[in-house]
Structure 1
Amino acid sequence: MSHDFDLNSPENIADPYPSYARLRTEAPIYHSADPDLWIISRYDDVRAVLRDPDRFSSDVGGLESDPFNPGLEMPRWLTGLLSRISAVRVLLTSDPPDHTILRRKVSRAFTPRRMAAWEPRIREVTTRLVDDMLAADHPADLVHDLAAPLPTTVIAELLGVPTERNDDFKRWSDNLINGLLTGGPRIPMVRSAIAISWFFLRTIRRRRRDPGEDLISLLITGEGDEALSQWELITFCILLLAAGLETTTNLIANAMLAIFDRPVLRQQLCANPELAAAVVAETLRFDNPAQGLMRVTRTEVTLSDITIPAGAYVIPLIGSANRDPDRWADPDEFLLHRPNLGEHLAFGSGIHYCIGNALARIEATAALEEIARRLPDMAPAGTPTRITSPVLRGLRSQPITFTRTKIPAR
């Protein structure tokens, strides 16, 4: 390339897409020396990495080597603890056969039918949150008042957690995510990891004694090979909380940013709120919450005539793949009803395809429909605060304004 690509630079975090275009053209397999990463940017190569767990492993090691927060230094006691529990299988960072076993165990809790059954409740929660926004006498914030509390409430109810713990859920999730971000703090992350593990440990023990209808109760009912161990249950609950809150919050925020910038799109959506599902689908391609994943090569691999050594960290850039002009016409335009939109990689591809994808789409669609119907003139009222991460794209806050005339829910 004509210049170095810095994954963690403020310019890249603010708007990575021009740099992605240069990578695809000049260095589709780009080697970064510091941190030591191989960055993959073209659609076909990214999809090949995601679909090849034999050569590109998801077992990337512990947090002591985080290229998304190069300054992160883990205390020795925590590094030791991580090494002792490394045998615990985690869905996101495991390979077959462990991944196959874990996926089979948890997938019965995330069937499309089970997720669709939650849609009426999700819409009830969304309606209540918009009611609260209309009734409040303080300045509104898209993230704080809607995009974050919606998935927080839904996941808490899925897990059978009392609503009064929602603030704890959000704080723990934020601290876990923030500790992995560029320049993120370490101590709150460690404290939250301990607190959330202890919380779920006690919750799981209670569910074993007195199971209910919630997701945790469903997951502990397996027998024999279908049973999750206690630590597997804890780590899955933590993953569901952190990943589910962060990605859905950012999906809603990113969709609204696209709408704010496009008056014609706003008019279309307000005139026909049923277009919300199409807006969500295009947002997943155009500005998806998960810009990249991490893999490590099991063996020497050649992609696009470039050889990557064994044991190398690889970042398949989903955000770049989803803007590849070889896959989509006018990739930098936000267009509804693209003919091949289902080929986007926002939820990954292959064996690690996001298990919660249906839930995220339902939540985001409900939020956009409610905004279109009841807050049609919502607009930015200040500069958004962006997440300081090259791989998590979204907002921490977005001040908004709207007419506080109450438009009844339908």
Structure 2
Amino acid sequence: MTSPALAFAGGTGAAGRGPAAGPGSSDTRDPLGLLDLFGDPFVRDPYPWLDLLRSESPVHQDPATGLWLVSRHQDVRRVLLDPDRFLPDNAQHAVTPLPVAVLRVLARVGFTLPPALANNGTPSHSGLRRVVTRFFNAQCVAAAVPVIERIADELLDAVRSQFGSTGGCDLFTSFAQVLPCRVLMELLGIQGVGPATLVRWSDAALELFWGRPPLERQLELAQLVADFHQWLTATVRSGTAPSGSFIAALARHRLPGGRPLDVETAVAACFFVFIAGQSTTGQLIATVLHRASAEPGMWPRVAGEAGLAEAWVEEGLRREPPVTTWRRVTAQATRLGGVRLPAGAQVLLMLMGSGSDPEVFPKPERMCPYRPNIRHHLAFGAGRHRCPGASLARTEAAVALRAAARGLPDIRPAAGTAEPRMLGLLSFRAPLKVAVEQP
């Protein structure tokens, strides 16, 4: 078992560091010395920084966080395909160290995330992964399409009502954020909690463990995360989950040697799946809606052109994935991209940077929905820890885009709105608002 202190207090962080200038600024210092992974210039437009990293320092140690930033496609892929040399143990550690007051909030409910899925390099991983993939395999995803379409239509009915009264709408909070949560709840048999609560809990966990919030905000987030963990623990312990639900499948699972899965690991698996299965998919949907509604001529095309919604989603995953980075730690001293990394090096894989690598994707800045090698992107990872929900996320985003384009054919980006504020966490990025209006 991993205690909250061990799992989260040892993260890296740069609390209090102010915004940095961009790589093209007049500052005469080394441009990469100005990089701030949480600063507004990087969050707003990371591509110049990612280009600079790939060309000047493809394996670069960030002095503010101590993380080794890996930005070339070939290097990122090598790390993902070698989980014995590059361990997943730090995948869910807090990037900003959690103060004692925050740890106390978590400790009061026995918060712990032992190795289960994303952070599991032990022999138990493959069996737990099989439990997850049974709910997200091709047959299940195909069967889920009518469910996704039904929920999308219900949400769009409410959106149209909002247009009738106000003339505008935010498609993130009213549609993109809610759709995958409701879908996940139906597919996994999640009961006893409402979609709004599950969204709030998930978003709080992302911000607490992957953000750089001040202490007061950390304490607010920790209480929400504690409530989430407490509800999960009570639900798993109760033994009353429906027989076809994800929680019931975990209860039936046996670890190597035939031992039943312990409650703590079952809760850790639920914690990860419930967040990854809806928060990141909502972020993907928000991104593709935002980009498609702003692209001249694209909105009517995705409504009627067969396969275009799927192709647009795939290109969005390449260029602007919701999961922008992921972490690994070296099991031993090794070389990567010509750079020697010591044992225990904290590695940050720049998934977004790998998707814009011109060595793999010519003219990466262009959105080309039918790019011939589009599936070579690494937005869902690769190898043993590749996202088991990738097919469902792709399908939900394509169905959502097509349904919105058909159900709201006359919308356009709201007049006078600049680029929306972006979610700026270490590993997650998406527009926080998709403001649209009808002419």
Fold shared per TM-score above 0.5: yes
Structure 2 match to 1:217: 248
User: Residue 77 and residue 387 in structure 1: after superposition, are their counterparts in 2 closer, same or farther (change >3 A)?
Assistant: closer
- The one-letter code sitting in structure 1 at the alignment partner of 2:159 is M
Structure 1 residues 254-293: aligned runs within 5 Å: 254-272=287-305, 274-293=307-326
Matches within 5 A, 1:386-401: 386-401=422-437
**Which of 199, 202, 220 is matched with 2:234 structurally?**
202
Could you tell me how far apart the structure 2 residues matched to 1:31 and 1:89 are? 27
- The equivalent position to 2:402 in structure 1, one of 369, 373, 391, is 369
Q: Deviations over 1:266-310 (max 9, x none)?
A: 343234264111111111101111110011111111112111111
Q: CA, structure 1 residues 367+188, in 2 after alignment: closer, same or farther (shift >3 Å)? A: same
Instruction: Provide, for residues 357-390 of structure 1, a one-character-per-residue CA deviation record: whole Å limited to 9, x for no partner.
Output: 1111111111101112121232222342311224
- Alpha carbons of 1:163 and 1:375: their partners in 2 closer, same or farther (altered >3 Å)? farther
Q: CA deviation at 1:80?
A: 9.0
> Aligned runs of 1:347-362 on 2, under 5 Å?
347-362=380-395
| CA apart distance, 1:336 | 1.3
Q: Does 1:250 align with 2:283?
A: yes
Match of 2:223 among 188, 191, 199: 191
Separation (CA, whole Å) in 2 of partners of 1:222 and 1:7? 39
Task: Give aligned pairs, total.
Answer: 397
Aligned to 1:27: 57
Corresponding residue of 1:177: 206
Summarize the Cα distance change of 1:319–1:209 in structure 2 as closer, same or farther, 3 Å threshold.
Answer: closer
Shift of 1:399: 2.0
Superposed displacement of residue 144, structure 1:
0.6
The answer to whether the Cα contact below 8 Å between 2:333 and 2:343 also exists between their aligned partners in 1 is yes
Q: Give the match for residue 408 of structure 1.
A: none
Deviation per CA, 1:151-184, whole angstroms, max 9, x where unpaired?
Answer: 1111222332348611211111121112231336
When residues 377 and 273 of structure 1 are mapped into structure 2, their CA distance, relative to the original with a 3 A threshold, is farther
Return closer, same or farther for 1:274/1:342 CA change in 2, 3 Å cut-off.
closer
Match of 2:75, as an amino acid? D
> Identity over the aligned pairs, expressed in percent?
30
CA-to-partner distance for each residue in 1:22-75, whole Å, 9 max, x for gaps? 111111111111211110010000101111111111101874x51xx46x5353
RMSD: 2.4
Measured after TM superposition, the shift of residue 81 of structure 1 is: 4.3
Structure 1: which amino acid aligns with 2:398? T
Q: Secondary structure at the match of 1:108?
A: helix
User: In the alignment, which of 105, 111, 127 is matched to residue 137 of structure 2?
Assistant: 111
Q: 2:48 aligns with which of 18, 21, 37?
A: 18
Which structure 2 residue ranges, 5 or more long, are not aligned? 1-29
Give the residue type in structure 1 aligned to 2:423.
I
Q: Report the AA paired with residue 387 of structure 1.
A: L
- In structure 1, the residue matched to 2:15 is none
More off after superposition, 343-352 vs 221-230 = 221-230
Return the alpha-carbon distance in structure 2 between the equivalents of residues 205 and 95 of structure 1. Answer: 25
The letter of the residue matching 2:244 is E
Distance in 2, matches of 1:261 and 1:241, equals 31
Q: Does 1:402 align with 2:438?
A: yes
Note closer, same or farther for the CA distance 1:19–1:322 as it changes in structure 2 (3 Å cut). same
Q: Which amino acid aligns with 2:368?
A: L
CA distance in 1 between counterparts of 2:306 and 2:245 reads 31
Moved more, 353-362 or 378-387: 378-387
Checking the alignment, whether the CA contact within 8 Å between 1:348 and 1:354 is kept in structure 2 is: yes
- 1:320-339 alignment, distance < 5 Å: 320-339=353-372
Moved more, 159-168 or 25-34: 159-168
Tell me how far apart the structure 2 counterparts of residues 140 and 17 of structure 1 sit (CA, whole Å).
29
Bigger mean CA offset, 331-340 vs 180-189: 180-189
Q: Which moved more, 1:226-235 or 1:13-22?
A: 226-235
In structure 1, the residue corresponding to 2:252 is in which secondary structure? coil
1:220 deviation in Å? 2.2
Task: Tell me which amino acid in the other structure corresponds to 2:373.
Answer: N
